Amino acid sequence: MADGCAITGVGSYVPKRVLTNADLEKIVDTTDDWITSRTGIRERRTAAEDEYTSTMGIAAARIALERAGVDAADLDLIIVATITPDMPFPATACIVQQELGAAKAAAFDLEAACTGFLYALEIGRQFIDNGTYQNVLIIGAEKLSSIIDWKDRNTCVLFGDGAGAAVLQHRADSRGVLATRLGSDGGKANILAMPGGGCRQPATVNSVNERIHFLKMEGKEVFKNAVNAMTGAAKEVLERSGVGMEDIKCVIPHQANQRIISAVGERLGARNDQVFVNLHKYGNTSAASVAVALDEAVSTGRIERGDLILIIAFGAGLTWGATVLEW
């Protein structure tokens, strides 16, 4: 099948400021060896005070649009996947729309945490495939440093800031997205969450003092659920696509933890050279994670036109997803 919904351009942006494990040793009770051995992360990027989810998303979007040869004025839809919007409302996507000059585009935010980019990809694909829109921009962007508890050594070492973007269009010479599986389990919502800030627990002096406006995570439970969900979703989309792991040129897993990546790769029977990892440089950037990794894999020549890619993600919600696509 040709003329599928394909990614015709991809771009990413990470802040200039680097926060190393050695830097974190000065902030919390931890060591470089402890962080590296348990997570695989050596450094991460943190946004400047005047950098936001919108500005990082815009920077990534401009690169993606240029590479796709699409003018922002021709965009039909903008989806921003994020758990750290510039503000509760209006949508960060509307800020992006205005700054890009995408006057005719509809725009909305999507919240599926670290799976957000795959959720955005599948929603955008459907608008393309059913003929409603011709040009869709999807963005995964996060300023996680704004919701991290820098006194919690179990979480502050894991996360970074950044953004990735992709342009979706029909491409006559590509099958595009072959299969996608999205999933969720709200029964486990509490193992990865930010309890404060919504209508259930709005900001008060007490809520701030109780530090509930920061990300909270039960690491062991997240690990177990991530490995099982990512493996299951990946196996399903491979089967539905009619391809085996040997046909996949590059696996782009959510960059959360090297142990999770290794466990999923092993269960799928993937070779080490098939699995793309940039976790050591950026940490977990949530919705930006697989988008930044995809851009880097393409930019470094790991992925070329015609290659089959498997993208897998998992995040708060719980949410998870997997996609097989032809680049």
Model confidence pLDDT, tens digit, residues 188-219: 999 999 999 999 999 999 999 999 999 999 98
Cβ 277 vs Cβ 258: under 8 Å: yes
- Look at the block and give the residue holding tokens 């299951």: 232
Active-site pick, 135, 225, 257, 284: 284
Active-site pick, 114, 135, 156, 257: 114
Of 142, 290, 297, 292, give the one whose Cα is nearest residue 230: 290
Asked if residue 85 and residue 208 are part of one domain, the reply reads no
Asked if residue 207 and residue 296 are part of one domain, the reply reads yes
Answer with the one of 149, 174, 199 that is the final residue of a domain: 174
- The pLDDT of residue 1: 47
Asked if residue 110 and residue 96 are part of one domain, the reply reads yes
- State the angle between helix axes of 258-268 and 219-241 in degrees (0 to 180), rounded to the nearest 10: 30
Asked if residue 97 and residue 46 are part of one domain, the reply reads yes
Active-site pick, 225, 254, 257, 278: 254
Question: What is d(CA 149, CA 147) in angstroms, rounded to the nearest whole number?
Answer: 7
Of 110, 100, 129, 115, give the one whose Cα is nearest residue 3: 129
Cβ 282 vs Cβ 44: under 8 Å: yes
Asked if residue 292 and residue 208 are part of one domain, the reply reads yes
The count of C-alpha atoms lying within 13 angstroms of the C-alpha of 185, restricted to the half-sphere facing its C-beta, is 15
- Is position 21 annotated as part of the catalytic site? no
- Is position 254 annotated as part of the catalytic site? yes
CATH code: domain of residue 267: 3.40.47.10
Answer with the one of 112, 142, 174 that is the final residue of a domain: 174
Asked if residue 315 and residue 214 are part of one domain, the reply reads yes
Asked if residue 255 and residue 276 are part of one domain, the reply reads yes
- Is position 114 annotated as part of the catalytic site? yes
Q: Is the dihedral of CA 19, 25, 28, 34 positive or negative?
A: positive
Q: Which amino acid is at 218?
A: E
Asked if residue 111 and residue 22 are part of one domain, the reply reads yes
Cβ 318 vs Cβ 189: under 8 Å: yes
Burial of 300 (0-12, 13-18, 19+ CB in 10 A): exposed
Asked if residue 182 and residue 93 are part of one domain, the reply reads no
Residues pairing with 117 in the sheet:
none
pTM comes to: 0.97
- The pLDDT of residue 3: 76
Asked if residue 169 and residue 49 are part of one domain, the reply reads yes
Asked if residue 169 and residue 31 are part of one domain, the reply reads yes
Question: What residues make up the domain containing 60?
Answer: 4-174
pLDDT tens per residue across all 327 residues of the chain: 457 899 999 999 999 999 999 999 999 999 999 999 999 999 999 999 999 999 999 999 999 999 999 999 999 999 999 999 999 999 999 999 999 999 999 999 999 999 999 999 999 999 999 999 999 999 999 999 999 999 999 999 999 999 999 999 998 888 999 999 999 999 999 999 999 999 999 999 999 999 999 999 998 999 999 999 999 999 999 999 999 999 999 999 999 999 999 999 999 999 999 999 999 999 999 999 999 999 999 999 999 999 999 999 999 999 999 999 999
Cβ 283 vs Cβ 47: under 8 Å: no
Provide the mean pLDDT of the chain: 96
Answer with the one of 131, 147, 174 that is the final residue of a domain: 174
Which CA distances in Å does 215 have to 7, 180, 193?
Answer: 32, 28, 6
Count of domains forming the chain: 2
Question: What is d(CA 259, CA 270) in angstroms, rounded to the nearest whole number?
Answer: 14
Asked if residue 155 and residue 36 are part of one domain, the reply reads yes
